[in-house]
Structure 1
Amino acid sequence: MRFILLLLFLIPFSNYTFCQKRVTTYTGTITDATTAEFIPFATIALYNDTLLVDGTSSDNQGKFRVTTTKEWTHLEVSFIGYETIKVELSTIELSNEIQVILHPVYNTLDEVIIQSEKTTTELKIDRKIINLGADLQQSGNSALEAFDQIPEIETDLGTGVISLRGAGNVRILVNGKPSPLNASELLEQIPASSIDKIEIITSPSAQHQANGLSGIINISLKKNINFGFNLNLNSSVGTKRYRYGIDGNYNFSRMNIRLSASDGRRNMDSEQWVFQRYTNGNTRDLYAPHDFNGKVSRISSGIDFFLSENMVLSFQVDHTNDFHSFYNDTFYTNITNSPDFVYTRNSSHTHKTTDYNLNYRASFDNESHFLEIDYNVTNNKNILPAVDIQENVFLSREKQTNINRLHAFAFDYELPLNSFSIASGFSWNYRELDSSRELELTEASATNDSFDYNEYELGGYIQTKFSTPKWNWQAGLRYECFSSKSNNTDTNQEINLNFSNVFPSVHLSYNLNDQNTFAAGYSKRISRPNFRNINPFQIGNQYFQWNANPNLTPEFSDNLEINYQFNRNTIKAFLSAFYRYRKDVIQWIDRIDANGVRIVSFENLGSRNSYGIESTFQYDIANFWNTQLSINYYYTKANQPNVTWDDLYSSNLMFKNTFKLSKTISTDFTYRYNPKNQSIFNFTEPRNRLDAAIRAKFLENRLIANLRIVDVFDQNLRFRTLVLPNIVQRETWRFQSQTFGWLFGLTYKLFQNTEKTRNRKKRNYSHDGSVD
Structure 2
Amino acid sequence: MTRTVIFIVFFLIVPCYLVSQEATTYKGSVVDALTQEVIPFATIAVYNANQELVDGTSTNNQGQFEFTTDKLFTYFEVTFIGYKTEIIQYTALDNPVNLLFNLRTIVSDLDEVVIQAERTTTQLKIDRKIINLGTDIQQSGTNALEAFDQIPDIQTDLGTGSISLRGNDNVRILINGKPSALNAVELLEQIPSSTIKSVEIITSPSAKYQADGLTGVINIILKSNTNKGTNLSLNSSFGTKRYGYGVTGNHNFSKVNLSFTGSQSGREMDSKQTINRVFNNGDTQNIFTPYDFNGLTRKLAGGVDYFINDNNELSVGLDYTDDYHSFYNTSQYFDVTNRDDFTYTRNAEHSHTTYVFNANYRKKFEKENHFLELDFNLNDNKNEYPVSDFEDRVFIFDQEINENNKIHALSLDYSLPITQTLQFEVGGSFNSSDIQNQRYIRLDTTDETLDTFKYSEELFGIYGLTKFTLKKIDWQLGLRYEYFTSNSTNTLNSEITDLRFSNLFPSIHAAYKFNQNNTFSIGYSRRISRPNLHHVNPFQLGNPFFRFEGNSRLEPESSDNLEISYHKNKKSFNWSATTFYRYRKNIILWVNDIEDNNIQVISFQNKGINHSFGIESTMQIKLLNSWNTQFTGNYYFTKTEDNDIVTWDELYSSNLQLKNTFKITKSISTDITYRHTPKRQNPFNFIEPRHRIDWGVRAKFLQNKFTANLRVIDVLDNNLMKRTTRTRDFEQRTIWKFQSQTLGFLCSLNYVLSKNKNKTRNRKKRKYRHNDGNN
TM range (shorter): over 0.9
Deviation per CA, 1:100-123, whole angstroms, max 9, x where unpaired?
444545567765542111111111
Q: Distance in 2 between matches of 1:770 and 1:109?
A: 39
Q: Give matches, 1:258-407, under 5 Å.
A: 258-407=259-408
Q: State the partner residue of 1:34.
A: 34
Please report how far the alpha carbon of residue 308 of structure 1 lies from its aligned counterpart in structure 2 after TM superposition.
Answer: 1.9
2:604 is aligned to 602
SS in 1 for 2:666: coil
Q: Residues 253-286 of structure 1: CA distance to partner in whole angstroms, max 9, x if unpaired?
A: 2111110010011111111100112233322210
Change (3 A) 1:312 1:106: farther
Residues 393 and 130 of structure 1: CA distance in aligned 2, closer, same or farther (over 3 Å)? same
Matched, 1:171 2:208: no
Secondary structure at 1:355 match in 2? strand
Is the partner of 2:597 in helix, strand or coil? coil
Hey, what does 1:658 align to over in structure 2? 661
- Which residue pairs with 1:681 in the alignment? 684
* Residue aligned with 1:445, SS: coil
Q: Deviations over 1:576-635 (max 9, x none)?
A: 100001000000112344633221101101110000001111111111111111111000
Distance 1:285 1:43, change over 3 A: closer
CA contact (8 A) 2:292 2:327 kept: yes
SS in 1 for 2:206: coil
Is structure 2 residue 483 aligned with structure 1 residue 459?
A: no
Cα shift readout 1:274-315 (whole Å, capped 9, x = no counterpart): 011223332221000111111000011101111123432111
Quote the Cα distance in structure 1 between the aligned partners of 2:748 and 2:38: 33
Cα shift at 1:165: 0.2
User: 1:6 — aligned with what?
Assistant: none
- Summarize the Cα distance change of 1:43–1:320 in structure 2 as closer, same or farther, 3 Å threshold: closer
Change in CA separation of 1:56 and 1:551 when aligned onto 2, cut-off 3 Å: same
Q: 1:76 to 1:607 in 2, by over 3 A?
A: closer
CA shift at 1:453, angstroms? 1.1
From the superposition, tell whether residues 209 and 514 of structure 1 become closer, same or farther in structure 2 (CA, over 3 Å). Answer: same
Mapped contact 2:680–2:687 kept (Cα < 8 A): yes
Aligned equivalents of 1:90 and 1:625: distance in 2? 46
Given the two structures, how large is their TM-score scaled by the length of structure 1?
Answer: 0.93
- Name the % identity: 49
Q: Distance in 2 between matches of 1:710 and 1:68?
A: 53
CA deviations 1:512-571 (Å, max 9, x no partner) are 111111111000000000111111111111112111100000000000001111110111
Structure 1, 479-488 or 330-339: larger mean CA deviation? 330-339
Partner of 1:647: 650
**Change over 3 Å in CA distance of 1:54–1:267 after alignment to 2:** same
Question: Which stretch of the first structure deviates more once superposed, 47-56 or 29-38?
Answer: 47-56
CA distance in 1, matches of 2:449, 2:524: 50
1:95 CA displacement: 3.2
Any idea what SS the aligned residue of 1:663 has?
coil
Q: 1:474 to 1:258 in 2, by over 3 A?
A: same
What does 1:23-422 align with in structure 2 at a 5 Å threshold? 24-44=24-44, 54-60=54-60, 61-69=62-70, 75=76, 77=78, 79=80, 82=83, 89=90, 92-104=93-105, 106=107, 112-418=113-419, 419-422=421-424
* Structure 2 CA distance for partners of 1:374 and 1:548, relative to 1, 3 Å: same
* Other structure's SS at 2:535 match: helix
Contact 2:114/2:703 (<8 A) preserved: no
**What letter corresponds to residue 158 of structure 2 in structure 1?**
L
Name whichever of 469-478 and 640-649 sits farther off: 469-478
Query: Matched residues in 1 for 2:547 and 2:48: separation?
Result: 82
Distance in 2 (alpha carbons) for counterparts of 1:742 and 1:84: 46
CA–CA separation in structure 2 for the residues paired with 1:679 and 1:547: 22
User: 1:498-517 alignment to 2 at 5 Å?
Assistant: 498-517=500-519
* Matching residue within 767, 770, 775 for 1:767: 770
What amino acid is the match of 1:33? A
Q: Which residue of 2 aligns with 1:551?
A: 553
Change (3 A) 1:589 1:52: same
Matching of residue 535 in structure 1 with residue 550 in structure 2: no
**What is the rounded CA distance, in whole Å, between the counterparts of 2:164 and 2:525 in structure 1?**
18
Deviation of 1:464 after TM superposition, in Å, equals 0.6
State the shift of 1:89 in Å: 4.9
Task: Name the CA shift for 1:44/1:182 in 2 (closer, same or farther; >3 Å).
Answer: closer
Give me the whole-angstrom Cα distance separating, in 1, the residues matched to 2:47 and 2:716.
Answer: 64
Report the Cα offset of residue 33 of structure 1.
3.1
Q: Is the 8 A contact 1:610 1:636 kept in 2?
A: yes
Shift of 1:26: 3.4
Query: How many angstroms does 1:713 deviate by?
Result: 1.0
When structure 1 is superposed on structure 2, of 462-471 and 226-235 the one drifting more is 462-471
For residues 354-376 of structure 1, what are the alpha-carbon distances to aligned partners after superposition, in whole Å with 9 as ceiling and x for unaligned? 00000112332344222211110
Alignment-derived partner of residue 732 in structure 1? 735
Q: After TM superposition, give the deviation of residue 493 of structure 1 in Å.
A: 1.5
Partner of 1:19: none
Determine the C-alpha separation between the residues in 1 that align with 2:40 and 2:759: 17
Q: Structure 2 counterpart of 1:652, which letter?
A: N
- How many angstroms apart in 1 are the aligned matches of 2:117 and 2:90? 40
CA contact (8 A) 1:328 1:344 kept: yes
Change in Cα spacing, 1:726 to 1:216, as seen in structure 2 (3 Å) is same
Confirm whether residue 698 of structure 1 aligns to residue 701 of structure 2.
yes
What residue is the counterpart of 1:630 in the other structure? Answer: 632
Distance 2:374 2:124 in 1: 27
Q: CA offset at residue 235 of structure 1? A: 1.0
CA distance in 2, matches of 1:420, 1:265: 50
Structure 1 unmatched ranges of 5 or more: 1-21
Cα 1:42/1:623, change in 2 over 3 Å: closer
Cα deviations by residue, 1:409-456 (Å, 9 ceiling, x for unpaired): 111111111111110000000000011111111221111110111111
- Name the SS for the 1:223 alignment partner: coil
- One-letter amino acid of the structure 2 residue matched with residue 486 of structure 1: S
State the one-letter code of the partner of 1:28.
G
Q: Is the 8 A contact 2:257 2:761 kept in 1?
A: no
**1:232·1:248 contact (CA, 8 Å) conserved in 2?**
yes
SS of residue paired to 1:680: coil
Conservation of the 8 A alpha-carbon contact between 1:203 and 1:561: yes
SS at match of 2:137: coil
Provide the residue aligned with 1:621 in structure 2.
623
Give the number of aligned pairs.
749
Over the aligned positions, Cα root-mean-square deviation in angstroms equals 2.2
Preserved contact between residue 112 and residue 752 of structure 2 (Cα < 8 Å): no
Distance 2:179 2:88 in 1: 48
How many Å apart are 1:714 and its aligned residue? 1.0
The alignment partner of 1:512 has SS state of strand
Shift in Å at residue 54 of structure 1? 4.2
Partners of 1:23 and 1:69 within 8 A in 2: no
Displacement, 1:467?
Answer: 2.3
**Given the two structures, how large is their TM-score scaled by the length of structure 2?**
0.93
Deviates further, 211-220 or 156-165: 156-165
Alpha-carbon contact 2:549-2:603 (below 8 Å) kept: yes
Q: How far is 1:83 from its partner?
A: 5.8
Within the candidate set 714, 717, 729, 1:714 is matched to 717
Does the alignment pair 1:742 with 2:738?
no
